[in-house]
Amino acid sequence: MTSIWAIGLNFKNAPVEYREILACNKEDLKNLLPLLKTINGVEEVCILSTCNRVEIYGLFDSEEAVKELIHTFLDFKGAKKDISKYFFAIKDKKAVFHIFKVASSLDSMVIGEPQIVHQFKEAFFIAKEIGTSGKILNRLFEKALKASKRIRTETKIARNAVSVSYVSVELAKRIFGDLKKARVLLVGAGEMGELAANYLKRIGANLLITNRTYERAMKLAQKLEGSALRFEDMEDYISDMDIVIVSTGAQSYVITEKLIRKAMKKRDYKPMFIIDISVPRNVEPSVGKIDEVFLYNIDDLREIVEMNMKDRLKEASKGEILLWDEVKKFFEWLESLKVEPLVLELKKKLAPIEKREPYVRKIVHRAIKEMKKNPDIAGTIYKILVEEVEDVNGRKELSYVHSGVNGVGS
């Protein structure tokens, strides 16, 4: 019996060294998907490949087809057969729920992250373009994306930041409100500091970058569309800054209490937000005691991240309830497909009568709606409707003949 399947591996059931072996780029998919489609019992197939998962979704008619598909996939990637022990394989409602959950980012490593929606769409478009998806998968993916939108609309799954870099930006917003034209100094070239600076730049902040190696500061300034500052000149400019992000590999304090006290006096104690993402810390802790200075270190930020993640997990539970509702609707549509041949036959059989009797069209429309809603009794509805309409039509024709014989209407 043909069923919808979801098979593959992800960050929950397989280490990264196996996921990276099976990861597929666009060129791989263009060659692999048509190959998988040739397997006996594989009717429709699509592959979602991201850094956290390599999963195959499709319409397969047996477990043998699934085993052959996994075997062919591993062969194509030149992978050892024992990797198959990491594969999960689920079907029917569990598979559809999983697919909806993935598309809604409820199954992501970072719950609520938005990147998966784009990756999901791309996987769908590739399969559709190549021609390995059909009526069922196309509908499934469309409904998965609709479910994803519903989750984001009806829950707060993406409301609170869950990355250290983004949390720092959210905190800055609470202090300054509108961050457009805020003056930001990035000290160092650490990855998290760069991400935070990039977020701020995108919302219109003015960015100044300094590093012990001036060439690195210039390179990063060019990348982030900011300006470079020589490290030895930092003391002269820091009083002009609203936000200071420190992300260096230094083993001692780069930003001292003495430096910030002098800067705050110079800026008339207007608020300054300092984010120390360095390990070990590069900002002297006593800086946080200075009036109107808001100092957050990596642990402060991670604590907020963890609180936000707990909030997202609560929202994820609500989201799963909504997803099961979407799964139910999808399977109602799937069941309705079983009566399509009967619906087409009904339309064909009653088409001539519909042309003569407009009221029949309304009856047929209501009957089709009921047949799709209750596939189990579709045959009975079909039989009764055809007999009734043909009987009524026959009586009308006899009435017309009888009237003609008696001279009525002549």
- Which residues are tagged catalytic? 51
Question: Quick one: pLDDT at residue 203?
Answer: 82
Question: Quick one: pLDDT at residue 98?
Answer: 97
**Sheet harboring 243-246: ordered strands across?**
227-230, 206-211, 183-187, 243-246, 272-276, 293-297
**CA 267 → CA 255, 312, 321, distances in Å?**
17, 39, 53
Cross-strand partners of 228: 209
Q: Is residue 1's pLDDT more than 90?
A: no
Q: What is the mean pLDDT of residues 41-55?
A: 95
Question: Quick one: pLDDT at residue 224?
Answer: 85
Higher per-residue pLDDT: 378 or 97: 97
Helix (H, G, I), strand (E, B) or coil at 110: coil
Residues 6 or more apart whose CB falls under 8 angstroms from that of 230 comprise 210, 214, 217
Kindly state the tokens that stand for 182: 């805020």
Higher per-residue pLDDT: 403 or 346: 346
Q: What is the mean pLDDT of residues 238-258?
A: 92
Looking at residue 21, the DSSP 8-state letter turns out to be: H
d(CA 111, CA 117): 12
Half-sphere exposure for 199 (CA within 13 Å, toward CB): 19
- 59-63, 269-273, 336-340, range with the lowest pLDDT: 336-340
Residues 6 or more apart whose CB falls under 8 angstroms from that of 276 comprise 246, 255, 282, 283, 295, 296, 297, 298
The count of residues in the chain is 410
**CA 69 to chain CA centroid, nearest Å:** 26
Residues 6 or more apart whose CB falls under 8 angstroms from that of 46 comprise 33, 56, 57, 58, 123, 124, 126, 127, 132, 133, 137, 141
**Sheet harboring 53-60: ordered strands across?**
42-49, 53-60, 3-10, 88-91
Matching residue, tokens 């009308």: 396
* Confidence label for 392 from pLDDT (cuts 50, 70 and 90): low
- What is the reported pTM? 0.66
Question: Quick one: pLDDT at residue 277?
Answer: 85
Rounded to 10°, the helix 298-336/164-176 angle is 110
List, for residues 350-359, the tens digit of each pLDDT value.
Answer: 676 666 666 6
Question: Quick one: pLDDT at residue 366?
Answer: 78
* Confidence label for 163 from pLDDT (cuts 50, 70 and 90): low
Question: Quick one: pLDDT at residue 399?
Answer: 42
Mean model confidence pLDDT for the chain: 86
d(CA 250, CA 231): 13
Q: Is residue 287's pLDDT more than 90?
A: yes
Q: Is residue 340's pLDDT more than 60?
A: yes
Residues 6 or more apart whose CB falls under 8 angstroms from that of 158 comprise 105, 112, 113, 114, 152, 312
Q: Is residue 27's pLDDT more than 90?
A: yes
* Confidence label for 400 from pLDDT (cuts 50, 70 and 90): very low
Range with the largest mean pLDDT of 202-206, 245-249, 271-275, 357-361: 271-275
Handedness of CA 23, 28, 34, 36 (dihedral sign): negative
Question: Quick one: pLDDT at residue 242?
Answer: 94
* Confidence label for 410 from pLDDT (cuts 50, 70 and 90): very low
Kindly state the tokens that stand for 235: 């003391």
Question: Quick one: pLDDT at residue 257?
Answer: 97
CB 302 within 8 A of CB 277: no
Question: Quick one: pLDDT at residue 383?
Answer: 74
d(CA 33, CA 16): 23
List, for residues 291-318, the tens digit of each pLDDT value.
Answer: 999 999 888 887 877 777 788 888 889 9
